[in-house]
Structure 1
Amino acid sequence: MRLAWSGVVAASLLAGCALFKGPQMSQTPSESLWQERRAALERIDRFALQARVASNGSLGMKGDLRWQQNPDGSFDLRVAGPFGVGALSIVGTPSLVEVRSREGSQVTNEPEAWLRRKLGWTFPIAGLRYWALGLPAPGSPAVIELDAEGEIAALEQDGWRLEYDEYQPAGPVSLPRRLQLAKPEVTIKLVADRWDGLPGVDTAQPATEPPLQ
Structure 2
Amino acid sequence: MKSRLIMTMAALTLLGGCAGMVRKNEPKTAEDHWDVRSEQLQKIDRFLMQARGSYGRLVPVKTDLRWQQNADGSFDLRVAGPFGIGATTITGTPDNVQVRSRGNTYQSNNPEQWIQDKMGWTLPLAGLRFWILGMPSPHSDADIDLDREGRVLTLEQDGWTLNYTEYQKAGSHQLPRKFDVSNSDVKLKIVVDSWNDLP
Q: TM-score range by the shorter chain?
A: 0.7 to 0.9
Equivalent runs, 1:129-168 vs 2, <5 Å = 129-168=129-168
Counterpart amino acid of residue 67 in structure 1: W
Q: Which has the larger radius of gyration?
A: 2
Q: What corresponds to 2:55 in structure 1?
A: 55
Equivalent runs, 1:183-194 vs 2, <5 Å = 183-194=183-194
Q: What corresponds to 2:176 in structure 1?
A: 176
Q: What corresponds to 1:73 in structure 2?
A: 73
How many residues in Structure 1 have an aligned counterpart in Structure 2?
A: 174
Q: Which has the higher contact order (CA 8 A, sep 6+)?
A: 1
1:136–1:155 Cα contact (<8 Å) kept: yes
* Fraction of identical pairs, as percent: 52
1:94 is displaced (CA, Å) by: 2.4
Query: How many angstroms apart in 1 are the aligned matches of 2:96 and 2:59?
Result: 23
Equivalent runs, 1:6-155 vs 2, <5 Å = 29-57=29-57, 61-102=61-102, 104-155=104-155
1:57–1:187 Cα contact (<8 Å) kept: yes
User: How has the CA–CA distance of structure 1 residues 86 and 115 changed in structure 2, closer, same or farther, with 3 Å as cutoff?
Assistant: same
Query: How many angstroms apart in 1 are the aligned matches of 2:59 and 2:84?
Result: 18
Query: How many angstroms apart in 2 are the aligned matches of 1:59 and 1:91?
Result: 28
Q: CA RMSD of the aligned region, Å?
A: 1.8
Query: How many angstroms apart in 2 are the aligned matches of 1:44 and 1:157?
Result: 20
3-state SS, counterpart of residue 73 of structure 1: coil
1:118 is displaced (CA, Å) by: 0.9
1:59 is displaced (CA, Å) by: 9.2
Counterpart amino acid of residue 74 in structure 2: S
Q: Structure 1: which 5+ runs fail to align?
A: 1-25, 200-213
Q: TM-score, structure 2 length as denominator?
A: 0.83
1:22-60 alpha-carbon deviations (Å, 9 max, x no partner): xxxx99610000000000000000000000110123795
Q: More helix per residue: 1 or 2? A: 2
